[in-house]
Amino acid sequence: MPEKDQDRFIYCLTENDENRKLEEILRRQFHFSRKLIQKLKTGEHVWLDGKFSYLNIRGRSGQTLTIDFAEEEDVSVSPEDADLDLLFEDKILLAVNKPAGQVVHPTSVYRSGTLANAVTGYWKKNGLSLPFRPISRIDRNTSGIVMIAKNRYAHQQLAWMSQHHLVGKKYLGLVHGHLKSSAGEIALPLRLAPDSRIVRETHPDGQQSLTLYKVLEEYPYYSLLEFTLVTGRTHQIRAHCQAIGHSLVGDDLYGGQTELIARQALHAFHYSFIHPISGQPIKIEAPLPADMASLMPKI
């Protein structure tokens, strides 16, 4: 397996790499994207046995290939000293438990107080100057896990895994009423509603979207469900729940009632994948937030 820190990827070529172009090794064996390969061709990022090399050079067994990621984009997010609930961190990845009400990235409306500001501030305190690269995003009023990459390689590796359904993403949600089946799938295409810039609706011309669900608990007026995202469309779980007649509790944008909780009762609690460097399975889980837990006395 290759070595990796924030700045470098180091790999010792094997017999299987004999006479193969370095670009081919990076693309086929380590899933470097075309975009990342193109970035590596500008400047001195590729080294073979300590000497600058081009990616079209053919390698030999025993040589050491080093990719230098030290030249990063400017950090455009202002660092802020804010609370951060860390769930996982290593040399290339960071996972945090985002509270409901916090925006992931600054916008024209939310210029500060975002997760990006907090993460950038955390890195600054630890002597790092890194761009904010979220691998996964969740809505402002959804709580739970947000994965963040510390360099381009980590970001594109997790993005590649997500595209190939190799990342497990699970949510907990409270929905109104009781479902007929204890488990099932919601396979309804989604598109942006024509009269809105935010709301998604089911429509035959929309993007194919698939959500799996499992009923965990039933209460007098609502149910606790576990959702698994197969696709990752904007507002997918929220729109799918409304479409089947069981809106998320608190989700007034998609038909939910707000008497019990002042935001959609949705929490990203599970994220799993094979680590792109160590090859070890990683499972990250975020505990249920207090506002949702207070609605479930059995938990």
List residues with catalytic annotation: 139
Q: Give the pairing type, strands 168-176 and 222-229.
A: antiparallel
Report how far residue 144's alpha carbon sits from residue 96's, in angstroms, rounded to the nearest whole number.
8
Side chain identity at residue 83, one-letter code: D
Q: What is the 3-state secondary structure (H, E, C) of the chain?
A: CCEECCCEEEEECCHHHCCCEHHHHHHHHCCCCHHHHHHHCCCCCEEECCEECCCCCECCCCCEEEEECCCCCCCCCCCCCCCCCEEEECCCEEEEEECCCCCCCCCCCCCCCCHHHHHHHHHHHCCCCCCCEECCCCCCCCEEEEEEECCHHHHHHHHHHHHCCCCEEEEEEEEECCCCCCEEEEECCEEECCCCCCCEEECCCCECCEEEEEEEEECCCEEEEEEEECCCCCCHHHHHHHHCCCCECCCHHHCCCCCCCCCCCEEEEEEEEECCCCCCEEEEECCCCHHHHCCCCCC
Query: Which one, of 155, 151, 134, lies nearest residue 69 by Cα?
Result: 151
